[in-house]
Amino acid sequence: GAGVSQSPRYKVAKRGQDVALRCDPISGHVSLFWYQQALGQGPEFLTYFQNEAQLDKSGLPSDRFFAERPEGSVSTLKIQRTQQEDSAVYLCASSSNLNTEAFFGQGTRLTVV
Amino acid sequence: GQNIDQPTEMTATEGAIVQINCTYQTSGFNGLFWYQQHAGEAPTFLSYNVLDGLEEKGRFSSFLSRSKGYSYLLLKELQMKDSASYLCAVRGNTNAGKSTFGDGTTLTVKP
């Protein structure tokens, strides 16, 4: 596609439910990033992939968060046993290499009730 | 670690010039980005500085001083559509893939 695509755009989950957020990066982009953005704040880094390798997951807030990119293209961010504090916009970004800008998707707005 | 500071809000008049400052303290430095984000939308790339000096791109310019840990984004000939949040982000060299974002400056352009 022309840009980074994320689905779903909106997700309402009951507390304790598992969710999976999908990111389709720009074709051919090697680097893929996940960020979490709370209202009124800047994006907070979660994790980073180079191709299928997860090189940095230092930003994942707990072991309930898991990300994968098995074939070096589409990535999924999974959150288990969601809690209210997980409510945020989850942004995915991709770049062709580490020295260029990242292109962001529209994000998935997760609301945990 | 990384610390990024930028003003929370700014207001300017259509047609004017506005400068949005960003200061940072980082454990490493491998480039500074500015992004624009309209409410409910994705951040979009504006500029990238890795060397000291001014980068100009149309109505937008960005300046970097690595020794001072300082950058600014300059917007000229402001238009109403420039009302948005402007995010400063620093890429550290401890892990070249990771960028740390400031909380953004919400710019309101008034007629």
In A41-60, the residues whose Cβ lies within 8 Å of chain B are 41-45, 48, 50, 55-56, 58-59
Contact status, residue B22 vs residue B6, Cβ threshold 8 Å: yes
| Spatial distance between the Cα atoms of B34 and B60, rounded to a whole number of angstroms | 10
| Spatial distance between the Cα atoms of B86 and B39, rounded to a whole number of angstroms | 11
DSSP one-letter code for A83: -
- The strand pair at A19-24 and B2-5 is best described as unpaired
Query: Could A42 and B102 be called an inter-chain contact, meaning their C-beta atoms sit closer than 8 Å?
Result: yes
Q: What confidence tens digit (pLDDT) does each residue in A88-104 have?
A: 999 999 998 766 788 99
Query: Could B98 and A48 be called an inter-chain contact, meaning their C-beta atoms sit closer than 8 Å?
Result: yes
Nearest-CA distance from A104 to chain B in Å?
A: 6
Q: What confidence tens digit (pLDDT) does each residue in A20-77 have?
A: 999 999 999 999 999 999 998 999 999 999 999 999 999 999 999 999 999 999 999 9
What is the sign of the dihedral through the CA atoms of A24, A69, B35 and B65? negative
CB of A36 within 8 Å of a chain B CB? The answer is: no
CB contacts of B33 in chain A (<8 Å) are 101-102
Nearest C-alpha neighbor of A81 from the set A14, A35, A36: A14
CB of A97 within 8 Å of a chain B CB? The answer is: no
Query: Could B43 and A98 be called an inter-chain contact, meaning their C-beta atoms sit closer than 8 Å?
Result: no
Query: Could A59 and B97 be called an inter-chain contact, meaning their C-beta atoms sit closer than 8 Å?
Result: no
CB of A98 within 8 Å of a chain B CB? The answer is: yes
In B80-109, the residues whose Cβ lies within 8 Å of chain A are 87, 89, 95-104
Whether B94 has a pLDDT exceeding 90, the answer reads: no
Contact status, residue A40 vs residue B103, Cβ threshold 8 Å: yes
Nearest to B42 among A44, A48, A91 (CB): A91
Whether B107 has a pLDDT exceeding 80, the answer reads: yes
Q: What confidence tens digit (pLDDT) does each residue in B22-81 have?
A: 999 987 888 999 999 999 899 999 999 999 999 999 999 999 999 999 999 999 999 999
Nearest to A104 among B31, B42, B97 (CB): B42
